[in-house]
Amino acid sequence: MDKLKNGLNQASGWMLYLSLLMLLALALPRTVFDPEARDFILLIGIVGIWRYSMGAMHFVRGCLFLYLVYPWYRRKVTKLGKDADPSHVYLLVTSFRIEALTTAMVYRSVIREAIDCGYPCTVVCSIVELSDELLIKNLWAHAKPPAHVKLDIVRIPGTGKRDGLAHGFRAISRQMPDRDAVVAVIDGDTVLEPGVVIKTVPWFKLFPNVGGLTTNEFCEVRGSYLMSEWHKLRFAQRHLNMCSMALSKRVLTMTGRMSVFRASVVTDPEFIRDVESDHLEHWRLGRFQFLTGDDKSSWYSLMRLGYDTFYVPDAAINTVEHPPEKSFIKASRKLMFRWYGNNLRQNSRALRLGMGRLGAFTSLVLFDQRVSMWTCLLGLCVAIIASLKYSLMYLLIYLLWIGSTRLILTLLLMLSGHRIGPAYPALLYYNQIVGALVKIYVFFRLDQQSWTRQNTKLNRGLSSFANWFNSWSSRAMTFSAASVFIAALLALV
């Protein structure tokens, strides 16, 4: 009954969206659809060609990897058989301030995987609260694991995920793992799908230079319909982008929800130092520690140390998402602020590694991340200026273009294997505009960081003058950049 109701709701949503598109098309003059007319809807400029070309390259590369290259790789790794088995598997789980029900689901799935994978395995729990320790020990006793599966609990102060990871890495280092051991780093709200360990660990034998790999994500959202659809859209886009980057073995993040590393990587003191105390020397804001973004720090460290990165699309995990606010707008902005901040703090120094290390396509993608905050706003700004200066028809043309193209992009996401919904076209555009505005805001405030789940903020201990200077210089630079952007558009239009 629930499936039928959900299907009817989905169908109603699609019918409403298509009806609005048709009404918008009917409101426009026929010349908009005439290729000979000067206001033909399909005329796009250089910036539009750039943006759609980047999207098309990601899509084609992603499909090429997902449907041709990866199956070929999978056949090769299957032929290795027992030769691809690791000597030992460590499952490192970090938990802090996660509700007991979610914690129980996570550790139950981790213990099950440790038992079912058949490898010698150690579950390393990096936790803060005594209640978590008691819960884990109770689940462990109930599961009755065999002798080759062990438990190691590491109690840490609640000073952040980076410290939790560092303590866990050092606990693994003390066990002296050999060169064939692997370490899976799992977040405290990640439920493992059956077989995910067996699907991920053999790749290190097939690719000797891969230092870390990450997995496909699905989610269960404890929030509103819009928040749920927004997260699911994000994971569908993430899947195709990861596949695209995996074609070059340059996946751009070692996702904190679940990534797998060589044990020799996570026991390297330089790697541990990068994750634990990563920082940035900024020309205006000075030196500051990274509070969030351990997944970006681990990726950057792998690149700097000379390793490749990979993606396993058929190894799936389920994350339990707890929105930081009840309001969709507030929650999405908070999450974007954290995600885009992590991205931009790593971007400039990653580019400095050079094309020789990153490759041409990866360098192009990193460059596009820096300019997309402006190019994503260009179409809307031009449409608004043209509608005010000439005719409202230009804004209607723009809305029809956005509605049509976002519908096509949503349908293309079906190839990712993630389901799509009628809210996706609107959410795609919401991500484009609001995401660009958040990126611009955070780009000039890279030192501002906070966790969404934990009430933890970076305290740099600066003087009152330094705080005043950073705050007002950030505002001045934001205003100046926005003014130049708008002035340029006014001159062009």
Are residues 315 and 435 part of one domain? no
Where helices occur in 184-327 by DSSP H, the ranges are 196-200, 203-206, 225-246, 263-266, 269-277, 294-304
Are residues 409 and 480 part of one domain? yes
Those residues with Cβ within 8 angstroms of residue 54's Cβ, 6 or more apart along the chain or in another chain: 364, 365, 368
What b/e sequence results for 329-366 when a residue is b if at least 16 CB atoms lie within 10 Å of its CB, and e otherwise?
A: eebbbbbbbbbbbbbbbbbeebbeeeeeebeebbbebb
Structural domain span for residue 348: 77-354
Residue 27 within any structural domain of the chain: yes
- pTM for this model (two decimals): 0.91
pLDDT at 451: 65
Q: Give the domain CATH number at 318.
A: 3.90.550.10
The residue among 329, 354, 379 that closes a domain is: 354
Residue 337 within any structural domain of the chain: yes
The residue among 330, 354, 378 that closes a domain is: 354
The residue among 297, 324, 354 that closes a domain is: 354
pLDDT at 40: 45
Are residues 145 and 284 part of one domain? yes
Token pair 């885009």 is found at 340
The pLDDT tens digits for 148-185 are 999 999 998 877 788 889 999 999 999 999 999 999 99
Residue 59: how many other CB atoms lie within 10 Å: 19
Residue 275 within any structural domain of the chain: yes
Are residues 425 and 335 part of one domain? no
What b/e sequence results for 212-226 when a residue is b if at least 16 CB atoms lie within 10 Å of its CB, and e otherwise?
A: bbbbbbbbebebeeb
Are residues 467 and 350 part of one domain? no
Per-residue pLDDT tens listing for the chain (493 residues): 666 777 787 888 899 998 998 898 888 777 655 555 555 444 456 667 788 889 999 999 999 999 999 999 999 999 999 999 999 999 999 988 788 888 999 999 999 999 999 999 999 999 988 889 999 999 999 999 999 999 999 998 877 788 889 999 999 999 999 999 999 999 999 999 999 999 999 999 999 999 999 999 999 898 899 999 999 999 999 999 999 999 999 999 998 899 999 999 999 999 999 999 988 888 888 888 888 888 999 999 999 999 999 999 999 999 988 888 999 999 999 999 999 999 999 988 899 999 999 999 999 999 999 899 998 998 898 888 888 888 888 888 889 889 999 999 999 999 888 888 999 999 999 999 999 999 999 999 998 887 665 555 666 667 788 888 889 999 999 999 999 999 988 887 6
pLDDT at 42: 46
Residue 475 within any structural domain of the chain: yes
The pLDDT tens digits for 109-125 are 999 999 999 999 999 99
Are residues 262 and 126 part of one domain? yes
Q: How many domains does the chain have?
A: 2
Are residues 224 and 327 part of one domain? yes
Helix (H, G, I), strand (E, B) or coil at 206: helix
Are residues 386 and 332 part of one domain? no
Are residues 273 and 414 part of one domain? no
The pLDDT tens digits for 421-463 are 999 999 999 999 999 999 999 999 998 887 665 555 666 667 7
Q: Tell me the residue type at 414.
A: M
Those residues with Cβ within 8 angstroms of residue 206's Cβ, 6 or more apart along the chain or in another chain: 73, 76, 77, 80, 84
* CA angle, residues 278, 189, 143, in degrees to nearest 5: 120
Residue 144 within any structural domain of the chain: yes
Are residues 406 and 349 part of one domain? no
Distance in angstroms (rounded) separating the CA atoms of residues 253 and 299: 5
